[in-house]
Amino acid sequence: MKIALLLACIGFSACAIAQVPAGGYVVADGDFADAQSAQWQRGEQRQATENIAALRQQHFLAMPKAQAAVADLAWPLQPVPDFDQFDYHGTKYFVDHGPPYPGIVEDYTCGTRTYNLANGYSHAGTDYYLWPFAWLMMDQGQVRIVAAASGVIADKDDGNFDRDCDIASTTNPNFVRVLQDDGYSAIYLHMREGSVTALPIGSRVATGDYLGLVGSSGSSSGPHLHFELRDANGAVVDPRHGQCNAGPDRWIVFQAYEDPHIDTLSTHSAEPDQSVCGYVGGKNVDDTPNYKSVFAPGDTLWVLASYRDQRNGEVTNFSILRPDGSVFAQWDFDLASENEPLPFYSGTAWDWKYTLPADAPVGDWQFKAVFVGLTYARAFTVAASAVDLGAASAARVQVGANATRCRSADGRTPPGCP
Ligand SMILES: [Zn+2]
């Protein structure tokens, strides 16, 4: 957590200088990583093979076609229907195409966004993690894992502890393996305990069907999906094409190696806090975002922007606009100003603090950002009285506030709520 060094633009009608965040987070090396043991992998593979053989014997499963076409892959994550932010994830590690440890690591572009370990593990999938407030998003079940291609459930497990924060963990993951119609198999790892589909092994799933929720079960350092594809012989297939992977790109919607976006813009009553681990000292620990969307004049206003793939030199133009569109505050921000050890991070989040003046106009304000050619905006409300606060809080829904979306600040049930 960084200390506020400079809080500019407070009380000025408009200013545009580079402003240092009051606090920030970067997704560091080792965050959202995994290394399911070779022993677990062998055991699971054996189990899946036995399951498939049994299903075939019972004629539940057709033999694979001799030369089935390789299925294209659909995006394997899906937020809940009322999810109201721009995005919910970052992409951390890709398949390692380099020689085993201590060899160099090479992702599909010959870059280093992958890893191998001294125990012989080379990362064999792609890691998509929840971002920001990963533990809270996991606890609220905000992101579902869905089948990237149709097939049959060949193996699955549930009931395993799901708040692991260490890739050295030897607990088993909650997971689903789908034997795809093209003969490949896809494994979806680290699901939340109790979330794995109730469909029995042998059930058909279509592309987009629910498989489970993102969690952190098994060898996992944070809530993420490890998506791993293997061919009919069990060899790892990287569904991304690049200089270090001759295989074709298999995603229906191309995923860029670096995809700079703002995931979320949000407003808060106090500085948001993210937990590195969701389980400390034998207790569940959660993120404390301190979300707030309705403020009174004179209140402290915290704003937070979270990014997927942020690089030094990419400038964001932030502004806070009053209800009439006039500028309350405006500033530029570049990751380079933070002097972080690396010029690029797959996930970052930064917050700034303001004090709303005593004569702040009531109405809908905007927290706005322009980043890499896209404009993002989040509305918040300044209301004069408690009655207005209640009505307005029902109209403003923030991520993470689903449980209280129909409860006003004064406890009344606003119109339109059950
Ligand atoms: Zn992984």
- pLDDT tens readout for residues 175-225: 999 999 999 999 999 999 999 999 999 999 999 999 999 999 999 999 999
Half-sphere exposure of 233 (CA within 13 A, CB side): 2
Q: Ligand 1 mean position to 17 CA, how many Å?
A: 40
Quickly state the pLDDT bin for 129 (edges 50, 70, 90). Answer: very high
- Give residue 387's pLDDT: 54
Q: How confident is the model at residue 64 (pLDDT cuts 50, 70, 90)?
A: low
Ligand 1 centroid to 182 CA: how many Å? 23
Taking the centre of ligand 1 as the mean of its atom positions, its distance from the CA of residue 28, in whole angstroms, is 15
Q: How far is the CA of 359 from the centre of ligand 1 (A)?
A: 51
Whole-number Å distance, alpha carbon 219 to ligand 1 midpoint, is 9
Q: Is 381 helix (H, G, I), strand (E, B) or coil?
A: strand
Question: What is the 224 CA–ligand 1 centroid distance (Å)?
Answer: 8
CA atoms of 190 and 173, how far apart (whole Å): 5
Q: Is the pLDDT of residue 298 over 70?
A: yes
Predicted pLDDT of residue 402? 31
126 versus 386: the higher-pLDDT residue is: 126
In this prediction, residues 35-49 reach a mean pLDDT of: 94
d(CA 27, CA 340): 11
Block residue for tokens 């969701």 = 278
pLDDT, mean of residues 371-377: 94
pLDDT at 257 over 80: yes
Which of 141, 185, 142, 166 has the alpha carbon at shortest distance from 47?
Answer: 185
Q: How confident is the model at residue 67 (pLDDT cuts 50, 70, 90)?
A: low
| pLDDT tops 50 at residue 350 | yes
Confidence of residue 70 (pLDDT cuts 50, 70, 90): confident
Q: Which domains occur in the chain, in start order?
A: 17-27+259-404 (2.60.40.1930), 38-237 (2.70.70.10)
At 395, is the secondary structure helix, strand, or coil?
Answer: helix
Q: How far apart are CA 171 and CA 177, in angstroms?
A: 18
pTM: 0.88
User: The tokens of 210 are what?
Assistant: 């629910």
Give CA–CA dist 306/272, Å, rounded. Answer: 12
What average pLDDT does the segment 350-372 reach? 96
CA-wise closest residue to 138 among 194, 97, 197: 194
Q: Separation of 362 CA from ligand 1 center, angstroms?
A: 47
Torsion angle of the four alpha carbons 380, 133, 191, 27, in this order, in degrees rounded to the nearest 10: 130
Note the residue count of the chain.
418
The pLDDT of residue 55 is 87
In this predicted structure, what is the pLDDT of residue 280?
A: 93
Going by the DSSP 8-state scheme, the letter that residue 38 receives in this structure is H
Q: Among residues 245, 218, 13, 3, which one has the least CA distance to residue 127?
A: 218
Q: Rounded distance, CA 255 to CA 359, Å?
A: 47
Q: Tell me the CA–centroid distance for residue 39 and ligand 1, in Å.
A: 16
Ligand 1 midpoint to CA 217 (Å): 12
Q: 336: CA distance to ligand 1 center in Å?
A: 28
Find the 93 Cα to ligand 1 centroid distance in Å: 7
**Distance between CA atoms of residues 71 and 239, nearest Å:** 11
**Mean pLDDT within 247-265:** 95
Cis check: omega of the bond before 248, within 30 degrees of 0? no
CA of 126 to the centre of ligand 1 (A): 5
* CA of 391 relative to ligand 1 center, distance in Å: 44
**Residues 302-309: what's their mean pLDDT?**
98
Q: How far is the CA of 120 from the centre of ligand 1 (A)?
A: 15
**How far is Cα 74 from Cα 93, in angstroms, rounded to an integer?**
19
- Tell me what the mean pLDDT of segment 305-317 comes to: 97
- Spatial strand order of the sheet with 77-79 comes to 77-79, 143-146, 210-213
